[in-house]
Structures are given as C-alpha cells and as structure tokens.
C-alpha cells in the first residue's frame, strides 16, 4: 500500500494523519519538541513517520505550519522558533523521493474542507475560522493562494473599524477583535453592563452568547448581530475582490451552526454587490482534523 502523511504542527503538539488518498487511516499525536528554536521538529516528525511505515510505502508528506509559508519556505513561525527555514528541503533530505508540500496551517485547513468537508462542491472559496482569533484560507480553482510573502488568507487582520479595538498584532480594528470567540466575549462584556440579561448570571463565553441568543435574550442577540454584521462587511469586501463561489465558516464559534450561518448570510446579502449575490455559505465539517486532511490533499 501507498500512504500520505498529513502533519499539522502546533506549538504544543503535532497532529499526524496516515492517509490512503483522502481517506484517513489512523491519527497520531506527538509533543512538539521546540528546544533550540525548533531545530529538532522536522527530524522528530520524519523519524516518527519512518517508524510507522516503510519508506517505499510513503508517497508524500503535506505539512501545516503556524506562520507564513511560500514555496516550501517558512518565513517565520514564532511558536516553533523558526525563521527563514527551508522546511521542504529538510524533509526531502530524509525522504528524497516523495512529494512534499508545506503550507500555512489555516490555509491547509481550508484545503482540508475541499478534500472531505464543507467545500467539496466548490473550486473557488474562502475558508474562515472563528476561534480564539480569526483565520482563513483562499482556494482558487482548487489551488491555495499563498501570497507573495506567504501572507494570503490572513483575514483576521483585515481592518473593519478605523481606530477600533487594539489587536495582538499591534494594529487597531482588525475583524479578529470583533468576530472571534474572544471578540464576541469582549462585546458581550461591554453590552451586558446594567442590562437585564442572563449574560450577567454566568461566565461569558462565545457559546453562552449564541445559546442565549437562540433563546432570544435581547442583549445576546445584539452581540451576535453586532459581531456577524462586522464579519459580513469583511466578507463582502473579500467578495468584491475575488467573487468566490462560497464562504466556508469553521472554528469553535461556528458550532453555533445554521443559526450563525443564516444571520451571517442575511447580513452579507444586504451588503453584496450584484455579481456577489450568488455566493453560498456553508459550515466547515472537519473541525480540528481539517488541517491533516488538507495536508494530505495538498500532495495529491
């Protein structure tokens, strides 16, 4: 048999998937060894893969990295200690005869949704993850857009409010500060003050906001509408530039499901320029496995 490995590298753990084409055979997790600026990580991964299958069984390795990547070269990945690192070349030094593709982790997750998830029916789409932050990936005609300096798909840092909330990146008004789980909680904590809302009874989480909104808690509904309205503005801007077939919405916040998707789509359509009105909205379906699926798919 011939197998591909999908490898999603995070700051604390590496997720690996052994794939037959796009079929996931087995998942593994190993602890990320970030000693000495992460110089052992690739060796650690290649050794692990060598233990699992024979070299003649290995067709390719796809890898997702938390940082900007272009043509297999990682510009920087602070969580791993990497800087200006030709990762593709190093993997090929262990396995000279396989196919290797290295990508940004959110971009790989975007591709994963094409392999087996919410984007299967589309060739050109934009994937948006609403988690602690807001991430994304752009797929056009089935291929990832990496960007000139590996910075494509960094949707979370698209400005949506001039001089708005301060972002961890140092800029102000990034959409990440409004439509991520963190941003939604921040909005809730502002709006609930002095109001009659069940948001004052429990620790506020993004899940609580959506759960209460579904039960028509007035303040929770306001918070959801506010965060989804700003996200719809960002998506409408993306749509005027790329006119993708669809937006695929993932990340923990998207567990609010069709309730979230319907509000987002409605607000998007209010702002959509005419050719953009056919844009479809779908939920991501692979959750945390999107990365390894996309990595495996990338070397197809």
Binding site for its own copies (CB under 8 A): 68, 75, 124, 126, 136, 138, 140, 145-159, 162, 169, 171, 174, 233-234, 236-245, 271, 273-276, 278-279
For residue 83, the minimal CB distance to its own copies (Å) is 13
Would you say 257 or 275 has its CB closer to its own copies?
A: 275
For residue 18, the minimal CB distance to its own copies (Å) is 32
For residue 231, the minimal CB distance to its own copies (Å) is 13
Give the largest CA-CA distance in the chain: 66
Q: What's the CA gap between 296 and 100, in Å, rounded?
A: 10
For residue 295, the minimal CB distance to its own copies (Å) is 21
For residue 161, the minimal CB distance to its own copies (Å) is 9
C-alpha dihedral over 53, 59, 65, 67, to 10 degrees?
A: 160
Would you say 54 or 170 has its CB closer to its own copies?
A: 170
For residue 269, the minimal CB distance to its own copies (Å) is 11
Please list, in sequence order, all residues whose beta carbon lies within 8 angstroms of the beta carbon of residue 23, skipping any fewer than 6 positions away: none
Q: What's the CA gap between 238 and 274, in Å, rounded?
A: 14
The H helix count followed by the E strand count for the chain is: 10, 13
Q: What's the CA gap between 247 and 231, in Å, rounded?
A: 12
Check: CB of residue 295 under 8 Å from CB of residue 100. no
For residue 136, the minimal CB distance to its own copies (Å) is 8
Would you say 208 or 224 has its CB closer to its own copies?
A: 224
Check: CB of residue 248 under 8 Å from CB of residue 280. no
Length of the chain: 300
Would you say 206 or 236 has its CB closer to its own copies?
A: 236
Would you say 44 or 237 has its CB closer to its own copies?
A: 237
Check: CB of residue 254 under 8 Å from CB of residue 290. no
Q: What's the CA gap between 182 and 1, in Å, rounded?
A: 45
Would you say 1 or 148 has its CB closer to its own copies?
A: 148
Q: What's the CA gap between 176 and 159, in Å, rounded?
A: 9
Would you say 15 or 157 has its CB closer to its own copies?
A: 157
């Amino acid at each position: 048999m011939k197998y591909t490995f999908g490898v999603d590298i995070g700051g604390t753990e590496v997720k690996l998937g052994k794939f037959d084409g796009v079929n996931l055979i087995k998942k593994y997790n190993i602890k990320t060894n970030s000693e000495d600026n992460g110089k052992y990580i690739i060796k650690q991964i290649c050794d692990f893969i060598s233990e699992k299958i024979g070299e003649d069984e290995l067709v390719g390795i796809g890898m997702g990295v938390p940082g900007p990547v272009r043509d297999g070269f990682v510009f920087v990945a602070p969580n791993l200690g990497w800087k200006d690192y030709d990762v593709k070349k190093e993997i090929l030094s262990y396995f000279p005869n396989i196919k290797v593709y290295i990508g940004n982790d959110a971009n790989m997750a975007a591709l994963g949704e094409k392999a087996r998830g919410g984007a299967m029916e589309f060739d050109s789409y934009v994937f948006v993850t609403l988690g602690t932050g807001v991430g994304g990936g752009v797929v056009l005609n089935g291929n990832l857009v990496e960007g000139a300096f590996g910075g494509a798909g960094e949707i979370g840092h698209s400005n949506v409010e001039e001089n708005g909330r301060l972002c961890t990146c140092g800029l102000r008004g990034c959409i990440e500060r409004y439509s991520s789980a963190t941003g939604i909680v921040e909005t809730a904590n502002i709006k609930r003050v002095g109001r009659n809302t069940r948001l004052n009874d429990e620790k506020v989480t993004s899940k609580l906001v959506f759960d209460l909104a579904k039960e028509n808690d007035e303040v929770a509904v306001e918070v959801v509408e506010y965060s989804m309205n700003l996200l719809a503005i960002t998506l409408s801007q993306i749509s005027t530039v790329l006119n993708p077939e669809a937006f695929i919405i993932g990340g923990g916040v998207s567990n609010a499901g069709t309730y979230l998707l319907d509000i987002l789509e409605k607000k998007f359509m209010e702002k959509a320029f005419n050719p953009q009105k056919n844009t479809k909205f779908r939920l991501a379906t692979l959750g945390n496995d999107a990365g390894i699926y996309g990595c495996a798919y990338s070397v197809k």
